[in-house]
Structure 1
Amino acid sequence: MTMTERDEPLTPAGRLFVQPGMDQIINCAVSVDDPIDVEAVKLEISNSIMVKHPRFSSIMLKDSCGRERWRKTEVNVDDHFIIRHQPLTDDPSISDEDAINDYLADLSVSTPLSLTKPLWEFHLLLAHNSAVLRLHHALGDGISLMSMFMSCCRRADDPNQRPTTQGVGTSSSSNNRNVWRLLKKLVMVIWYTVVYVTEFGLRSLWLKDKKTAISGGAGVELWPRKLATAKFKIDDMKTVKKAIDNATINDVLFGVISCGLSRYLDLRSPKALKEGLQMTGVAMINLRKQSGLQDFSELMKSKSGARWGNKFGMLLLPVYYHKGGSDPLQFVKRAKAMIDKKKLSLEGPCSYKIGDLIMSIFGPKLATLLNYRIVSNTTFTISNVIGPPEDITFGGNHISSVRVTSTALSHAITMHMVSYAGRADMQILVAKDIIPDPKVLAKCFQDALLEMKEAAQAVAKD
């Protein structure tokens, strides 16, 4: 393929996401209250900043050396719409949510995006008042893509305003001048960085979680999938957070995951597990200066610290199997202690820089192999993207839910949580031959949070 001077190479992270075994497509299901007006949606997209964005108006090509590049092209919006008028199922007992989840599960293993056009498309499921936006991960990470989507939406209470971005600076100034404390913190940063980066390297070679009823492994990314949704209230998470000093929503989430997986394993293999068994999750963390959604204008500035694209690091976050005890808050306390150590380390930035370096020096084959082995040697994937805190509309149609999942990995469990207007929906994508009952797993997570809430309320009363 003859390249032109205007062709732009993919970033190292973008190249990773187009390699076999790590090829990743994000599938975002958006449900609305009223019937979808197809022409109105097409007009909204045609006039949006989305189709003007260089990544959304370029096709991916390979040069003579096999290196992937972006080439600018004309966008025909009609080519990016797949319209389905008929219901996804003839069974009236299957809810819209379940029908859409089955549709997403099928997309996760069997439907790549066409390379003859920019790597995104809309599936309009008219009988279900829903749309599925499919975006290749090479276009950007969850923060970039959610911020892009929000730029096309408006607040339900004020159609002239865009949704609120919740970016909060992660760096803070401190008046603490105690040299000893600063030195102690520096030593801890160095120590935890060395420990966790070393473990990261070992995971890419041979170190792996012990086999359980929820373990995946090499080749599992090709297995058929099922998808279920665990639903949480943000206020319930905040209630639990307040019961534990300096806890965060992510601490609560990992406590819920630890408790929920323990509950599920008790159902599947009640006598076969050792107390404290480690199950390691692969988590993606935003490396931008601000957390949460980003202002889209800042993302598009080349010198901005926000920066568009795949700007994230990987963390290995272990959770542990424990039999149900009298205090479910212990799961959150253990999760917080683990995450606090991870925060002190530079594991996330180092994983990003090392991956970038390996891709640049040794090429995509080695980088893909190492990342694939990390996934194959761990138990689950987890991501958490903060959405808008208020109700929003798209084309004047109120959005009732936003749910996100992705292409299957070699994990048997992949979890993606998105918060929206006081709720949080976590999509649980599973290999159905390993986990045939994902709704049971979803209920284990939901029940875990409710028990934690009750325990937190009891603590508050005392």
Structure 2
Amino acid sequence: MESEEGLRRRKQALKPIKTKTANKEGEDSVNHQVEEEPLSPSARLFHEPHFNVYIIAIMGCKTQIYPDIAKANLVHTLLKHPRFSSLQVVGDGGEMKWVRTKVDLEKHVIVPELNPNMDDADQYVEDYVFNLSKSSIEKTQPMWDLHLLNVKTSDAEGVGIFRVHHSLGDGTSLMSLLLACTRQISDPQALPTVPGVLYKKKKKNAVNGSSSWWIWRCLIGFWWGWQLFWNTVVDAFMFMVTALFLKDTETPLKGPPGIEFTPRRIVYRTVSLDDIKLVKNAMNTTINDVALGITQAGLSRYLNRRYGDSKKDDEASKTKNNLPKKIRLRSTLLINLRPTAGIQALSDMMEKDTEAKWGNWIGYVLLPFTIGLREDPLDYVRQAKATIDRKKHSFEAIFTFSVAELVLKIFGIKKASALSHSILTRTTMCFSNLVGPLEEIGYYGHPMAYLAPTSYGQPHALMINFQSYSNKMTIVLSVDEDTIPDPKQLRDDIVDSLQLIKDAVIQKGLIKEDHNLNKI
């Protein structure tokens, strides 16, 4: 736990700098600043002491990284985005604003001198990221940096670590921007292809004009609307009672108060996306359903072991069901409500100075996890599908965003921050699943081996991210080591759960012939 003196210093470090927009001669006083724009409410929220959140994207490269090439092309890509070439300052009226500035790349691109023959390069990279999570970026410069580690690991020839303050954008927007800076390996002029939602055309019914068809359609529409209304009411009620008093069960995964100020150990493992698609196709679900299902299975296995370790019985106690009954374990899922700019729009913005939508407009979804040991491993995926299908049929995210906006306007940023903090601290973890490109990509001659995004600074001891890339899926865990001392074991439990569920699908003969396996 961070000391009171350390917390006081960190709060002081979070205070945004004050600048004047112009001097008496009419010249900009700080690096020729221009184009002031106020921060959105969500961006301001990430400057509160309990929400100093940073997004980290660990990028493995198949070749050694050439820093000069990376820097030269950042000027023509990332720096064209106004958020990455702006300071966040407090004006004379007290409002925080974006103010354009000249970017010194030498301060943003860090290339440490490394021993190419070090004993354990994988551990070095892991420790490097861990130490990075202890620090923050000075507000006297745009709040992002890029660390280039030319060290050969087990799955890459070099590693780039891209760190961005969450006030610059949400995970989905930043992922789109990152991909807009890359090109396909097979076609260096082509942008990456990110799959969208596929809609099947409905077959026309021969009796569409009959009165009975219209009656059934009205009944189905009424039932659909009633479910949407009822699900939203229930979710809104759960949100309010969670904000007031309802807490998750105290499990070995739930961190203590002040967990947002601790560093994070980040571990990850890349698995075959085809294995996940095999389960998805066999069970007629989605990639997200399977990701949530194997996470529920992995958390159940891990917690059962931890509860077994706490008992003083013999070794057999660790293999039986040691889980308490009725564990309440929920994940906070952040939903971006603003339409995210597509890769093409962001690419055009950087190349042709066009406009693209951007911002942090975030609502909460409280996603319950079913914890327990199941005889049939496929039950984890079935339960996940039921949970996600229900959450899709609700306006929960819009409601939570609206409540936060109302509190902000009436009571100010401090009360809005307290509301969000109370929600997060009464849940257990964060969970996300981001869709990546279908093909292999590279950045100006640097082909990418994998992509592992996550974050630190959130008031949870555990964050789990799934990131697809080509035919791979990377599972990323960001943990507080005091709460979860063995993060690699938890990661392996999730990976092993995928294998168990895949084996169960094969044994039950549920595999379907699908020539479109490569589609997400």
Length-normalised TM-score, structure 1: 0.91
Give the deviation of 1:374 after TM superposition: 1.2
AA matched with 1:391: E
Give the deviation of 1:307 after TM superposition: 2.7
Give the deviation of 1:10 after TM superposition: 0.5
Deviations 1:348-390 (A, max 9, x none): 2222232233223322211111111111111110111111111
8 A Cα contact 1:240 1:453, kept in partner: yes
Distance 2:339 2:226 in 1: 23
Give the deviation of 1:139 after TM superposition: 1.0
8 A Cα contact 1:107 1:407, kept in partner: no
Query: Which residue of structure 2 aligns with residue 257 of structure 1?
Result: 295
SS in 2 for 1:115: coil
AA matched with 2:38: P
User: Which of the residues 251, 267, 270 maps onto 1:228?
Assistant: 267
Distance 2:414 2:421 in 1: 10
AA matched with 1:79: K
Deviations 1:55-93 (A, max 9, x none): 1111000134543211111122222111112149x861x
1:344 maps onto 2:393 in alignment: yes
The gaps in structure 1 that reach 5 residues or longer are: none
Distance 2:332 2:276 in 1: 22
Give the deviation of 1:146 after TM superposition: 1.1
Query: Which residue of structure 1 aligns with residue 140 of structure 2?
Result: 116
Query: Which residue of structure 1 aligns with residue 238 of structure 2?
Result: 199
Alignment: residue pair count? 452
AA matched with 2:441: I
Query: Which residue of structure 2 aligns with residue 315 of structure 1?
Result: 365
Query: Which residue of structure 1 aligns with residue 24 of structure 2?
Result: none
Give the deviation of 1:443 after TM superposition: 0.6
1:19 maps onto 2:68 in alignment: no
AA matched with 2:223: K
8 A Cα contact 1:147 1:296, kept in partner: no
Give the deviation of 1:298 after TM superposition: 9.0
Query: Which residue of structure 2 aligns with residue 269 of structure 1?
Result: 307
Give the deviation of 1:123 after TM superposition: 1.0
Identical columns (%): 34
User: Which of the residues 254, 261, 284 maps onto 1:215?
Assistant: 254
Query: Which residue of structure 2 aligns with residue 106 of structure 1?
Result: 131
Distance 2:163 2:203 in 1: 43
Give the deviation of 1:209 after TM superposition: 0.5
AA matched with 1:124: L
Give the deviation of 1:289 after TM superposition: 5.6
The gaps in structure 2 that reach 5 residues or longer are: 1-17, 22-33, 153-157, 205-212, 309-320, 512-520
Worse overlay, 126-135 or 4-13: 4-13
Give the deviation of 1:244 after TM superposition: 2.1
AA matched with 2:458: L
Query: Which residue of structure 2 aligns with residue 333 of structure 1?
Result: 382
Give the deviation of 1:406 after TM superposition: 0.9
Give the deviation of 1:278 after TM superposition: 2.3
Worse overlay, 169-178 or 234-243: 169-178
Distance 2:296 2:407 in 1: 33
AA matched with 1:317: L
SS in 1 for 2:246: coil
8 A Cα contact 1:144 1:299, kept in partner: no
Query: Which residue of structure 2 aligns with residue 54 of structure 1?
Result: 82
Distance 2:348 2:187 in 1: 24
AA matched with 2:45: L
Query: Which residue of structure 2 aligns with residue 85 of structure 1?
Result: 113
8 A Cα contact 1:143 1:294, kept in partner: no
8 A Cα contact 2:339 2:357, kept in partner: no
Query: Which residue of structure 1 aligns with residue 167 of structure 2?
Result: 138
Distance change (3 Å), C-alpha of 1:416 and 1:266:
same
Distance 1:300 1:171 in 2: 32
C-alpha RMSD of matched pairs (Å): 2.7
1:421 maps onto 2:470 in alignment: yes
Distance 1:241 1:305 in 2: 38
AA matched with 2:497: A
Distance 1:300 1:287 in 2: 21
8 A Cα contact 2:146 2:163, kept in partner: yes
Deviations 1:416-441 (A, max 9, x none): 22111111112111111111111100
Give the deviation of 1:221 after TM superposition: 1.8
Give the deviation of 1:452 after TM superposition: 0.7
1:69 maps onto 2:93 in alignment: no
Deviations 1:100-147 (A, max 9, x none): 222222222x21111111111111112341111111111111121111
AA matched with 1:309: G
Distance change (3 Å), C-alpha of 1:440 and 1:345:
same
User: Which of the residues 238, 248, 255 maps onto 2:286?
Assistant: 248
Worse overlay, 404-413 or 327-336: 404-413
Distance 1:329 1:179 in 2: 35
Give the deviation of 1:238 after TM superposition: 1.2
8 A Cα contact 2:333 2:431, kept in partner: yes
Give the deviation of 1:306 after TM superposition: 8.2
8 A Cα contact 1:144 1:308, kept in partner: yes
Distance 1:52 1:306 in 2: 12
8 A Cα contact 2:323 2:372, kept in partner: no
Query: Which residue of structure 2 aligns with residue 396 of structure 1?
Result: 445
8 A Cα contact 2:180 2:343, kept in partner: no
Mapping 1:151-190, distance limit 5 Å: 151-168=180-197, 178-190=217-229
Give the deviation of 1:172 after TM superposition: 8.9
Deviations 1:268-323 (A, max 9, x none): 10365324422101112343568x9643349969xx99832224432111112212
Worse overlay, 210-219 or 445-454: 210-219
Q: Kindly name which structure, 1 or 2, has the bigger radius of gyration based on alpha carbons.
A: 2
Worse overlay, 383-392 or 4-13: 4-13
8 A Cα contact 1:282 1:317, kept in partner: yes
Distance 1:300 1:184 in 2: 44
AA matched with 2:112: R
Give the deviation of 1:230 after TM superposition: 3.4
Length-normalised TM-score, structure 2: 0.81
Distance change (3 Å), C-alpha of 1:279 and 1:198:
same
Query: Which residue of structure 2 aligns with residue 353 of structure 1?
Result: 402
Distance 1:314 1:32 in 2: 34
8 A Cα contact 1:164 1:389, kept in partner: yes
SS in 2 for 1:56: helix
Give the deviation of 1:173 after TM superposition: 8.7
8 A Cα contact 1:243 1:459, kept in partner: no
8 A Cα contact 2:191 2:344, kept in partner: no
Query: Which residue of structure 2 aligns with residue 458 of structure 1?
Result: 507
AA matched with 2:143: L
Worse overlay, 409-418 or 184-193: 409-418
